[in-house]
Amino acid sequence: MSEPIYKRRIGDRKDGRLIRNYPPYNKLTPFVMKARNDASNYFSDSIEVTEIDRWLREKRSEGYKGMGMLHLFLAAYVRTVAYRPALNRFVSGQKVYARHEIEVLMTVKRALTDDSEETTIKAKFLPSDTVFDVYRKINEQIDEIKANDEANDTDKLATAFARFPRIIINAIIGTIKLLDYFGWLPQSILDASPFHGSMIITDLGSIGIPPIHHHLYNMGNLPLFLAFGAKRHTVELDASGRPVERKYIDFNVTTDERICDGFYHASSFKYLKYYLRNPRLLEAPPEKVIQDIF
């Protein structure tokens, strides 16, 4: 699927193009809600996973070892962005931008122990990616981290900053924020930064706890945080009134309301749930990819 040719214009950033046709009211919201935490909306939902579990077992038996809810949430998000591109916008320098790429961040522990170090990975996806593309890309990143004791770019950036005294660190962070405000940060820092991307996701089901409501970071431009938890079992009545046991996964989403209106956000979450419930649709590329407004 070919990508449209876009020529960078004055006012665009390295990581996104300025949305020039944004309604005047929406253009003012970043001036009223200057910090990302000022503009955070919190959304909670759940998904019944009995049929999803059957599909995941089927894929694992076909050779997709370890395919789980993390891959499915990521694939459903990528597919949602293909049809709902405003979900991949961000606010920086009190302006709204359409991000060039889909960049997902997640924190990974090298081992599930208290003293194991954490690191952040950033995986890049295309709107045309299938669940198998997502599986391959995210697993390559995770496997590389767990197999390699060397620091990645994010770790190296943090280590370099941590060597300085507090007053110098504050000055460096202030300089980075100023450069970021005007879109002048080098691409190398944007690539290494754990605060710049489309979404950050955390799989709390892997450690057996429910999802948290996580804040957005005021630094950088991440507009969305998704957390999902462990499976929970409940007994419900079916259509004939008989008690049946069902399995659910709860998930929480924190969004930056300045990137699009509430109706668009709500509709996008319906898309997300639709693809979570119908994972077979994610096995093939989308019929089309919708471009964001200019």
The band of 235, judged by pLDDT with boundaries at 50, 70 and 90, is very high
CB 26, CB 258: distance < 8 Å: yes
Token pair in block for residue 23: 């309604």
The reply to whether 89 falls in a domain is yes
Count the neighbouring beta carbons within 10 Å of the beta carbon of residue 154: 18
Report yes or no on 31 lying in a domain: yes
CATH number, domain of 236, equals 3.30.559.10
Of all residues in the chain, the percent with pLDDT exceeding 70 is 95
Res 111: pLDDT: 67
Residue 179 counted as domain residue: no
Provide the number of structural domains found in the chain. Answer: 1
Residue range 101-126: mean pLDDT, rounded: 84
Residue 63, in any domain of the structure: yes
Domain that holds residue 117: 16-150+190-283
Domain presence at residue 155: no
Encode pLDDT of 75-96 as tens digits.
999 999 999 999 999 999 999 9
- The verdict on residue 4 lying in a domain is no
75 burial type by CB count under 10 A (0-12 exposed, 13-18 middle, 19+ buried): buried
Q: Once rounded to an integer, what is the mean pLDDT over residues 40-65?
A: 96
pLDDT band at 157 (very low <50, low <70, confident <90, very high): confident
* Alpha carbon distance, N-terminus to C-terminus of the chain: 21
Q: Beta strand pairing status for 199-203 and 102-109? A: parallel
Confidence check: pLDDT of 238 > 90: no
Query: How far is it, in rounded angstroms, from Cα 158 to Cα 211?
Result: 27
Residue 195 lies in a domain: yes
**Residue 270: inside a domain:** yes
